[in-house]
Structure 1
Amino acid sequence: MLMVSLKDVAKEAGVSLMTVSRALKSPDKLSPKTYKVVKEVIDRLGYVPNLAAQHIRGVAANTIGVLSLGTATTPFSVEILLGIEQTVRQHGWNSFVINTFENDSQAMEDAVEQMLSHRPSAIIIARNGLKNVSIPEKLRSFPLVLANCQTQDMAVAAYIPDDYQGQRVVVDRIVAKGYQRPLFLHIPKNYIATAKRRQAFEDAWANHSGQKPVQFFMRRDGEDYFEGAQPLIDYLEKPDPLPFDVIICGNDRIALVAYQLLLAKGYRIPEDVAVCAYDNMVGIAQLFIPPLTTVELPHYQMGQEAALHLIEGRKDRDIHQLPCPLIEGESC
């Protein structure tokens, strides 16, 4: 089926191309009679504006370009993009996603050029995990907001998880349940989230009568979660009973390893030792047996709020910390 063109509409309505263009963009510049004629032809022929052609002529109005730093290819953070897409649709805006990776300078440069070729009116930079990012020079003049990342390059609004609150809520629950002997298997020490979560844990435990907690950290930028659980492996290889009654895991993937290690050694969860974690990775908590108690990262909300920041024309350049809810399972 052939697409109806602007020229087809003009010919059928008996008007110029300019008149049809005004009917689409500035109907107030036409007489009511002329606009009615053109609108009737547009509806009858089913004409759809050619957005690509509009992009060539200038900025794509009400269109948000999303520079995705691994977000589109990382399952547990892809809901950031869903939050953006559904929000822009609800408000009659458009969006598109360009995915790239920070450790490939050529790929980043190509992604920025591709982004600019679509003529966005505003830009969201979204990351698959909370870190400081560099803002490409060519994007700094656009209305800009960050989701799940922050920057030291310029003052710009960012929507990130409240990792202090998230860790505090789960540790407060552990304290309330009477656990006394925790082992905390942290994510890498250089991550932004790690410092906040450690502080929340130590603040919550400060006035608790339990023993001094044992804490370990993964190596810098580590992604080997068996390495993250290595301290637990070392304890389980000793002949003595495990000296902990709760294992606090820096994320669900460390918890998955911890489950396997504990169950293989005959420990019951939570009867012998409790386990809790962080992330609520795409509903994975319910696939643990028993279901995992974890903290949910607000991925959808970060995307949603970043989109609303641009749609509503918010002027602040603050870092907004969004709450991380407790997902209570049966593991503690």
Structure 2
Amino acid sequence: MATPPQPVRFALGTFSAAGGSPFPGLVVDDRVADLGQALQWRPASTLDVLERWTEVLPSLRRLASEAREWLPLDGLRVHAPVAPRQVFQSGANYRQHVIDLVVAHRPADSAESEEQARARAAELMDRRAREDQPYVFIGLPSAITGPHDDVVLPSWCEQPDWELELTAVIGTPAHRVSPEEALRHVAGYTIANDLTARDLVFRKDMREIGTDWLRSKNAPGFTPLGPYLVPVEFVPDPSDLRLTLKLNGDTMQDESTKDMIFDVARMVSCVSQTTTLLPGDLVLTGSPAGNGMHHGRLLRDGDVMESTITGLGAQRTRCVAEERA
């Protein structure tokens, strides 16, 4: 009996030629098909494609398998793959990262040894995984930029930091879905670098208010996204991917999604208990150990960040300091 042919691997993105408007594209190897021309109903954006994800997926598979006289990828600008309506971000979701934070922030006069602190933190993380919910907050779509665009460091930000994150992109609406059902609502995955102004996370005027995610997370361009949306069928196990971020060529983050406390399914399910996830929405799943605060080295003018996640492509962004008024 003949073995059925393997599906051709493809991804989705948003592209533009010199002087042209952005268009949704299907990527195979180093070629791009303009979906606004290739699909009969002429979608204007990747979000349009995701709005009809279940219906259009067979057409995308057929298109990917056809002989191609498409646009060369190296002649196009790569934008963020999707413009979402909602962005959900997560913190404290990598076991080793949180354990390191607990150890680093124990009181200077503590009688607890580092080994004891690590054991206590590990027990806490095990309990969180069994009994608790992910820590999720809301981001702004206006913070998203392309995977190769410059990142402007605002003049008011004194401690800009990087946070490489696996990101789930929603394909069908999800409301109050269980973890067992959650991944059926995910269209694919992409890369996000969820930058943070560390000096602004906690309010200085009234600490009782707690965290200020508006200012610390949502400056324009603080979320480089992409390069592509890779469909779930080409990401067999989102809990076994390698995240690597290099700063000026030096590896700063290098961890597996196996270290997540809450996996993608639990994260999507958790968000859906409160709100309705819509096609194109982003669920960022937290960042592993190795942020700038850990290394004592935060972002500066001229820094170059290179980010990869297994099978999802690569980002390369340069930091540009905003001139002070």
TM band (smaller chain): under 0.3
Which structure has the larger Rg over C-alpha atoms? Answer: 1
The structure showing larger relative contact order (alpha-carbon pairs under 8 Å, at least 6 residues apart) is 2
TM-score in terms of structure 1 length: 0.23
Q: Which has the higher strand share?
A: 2
Q: Which has the higher helix share?
A: 1
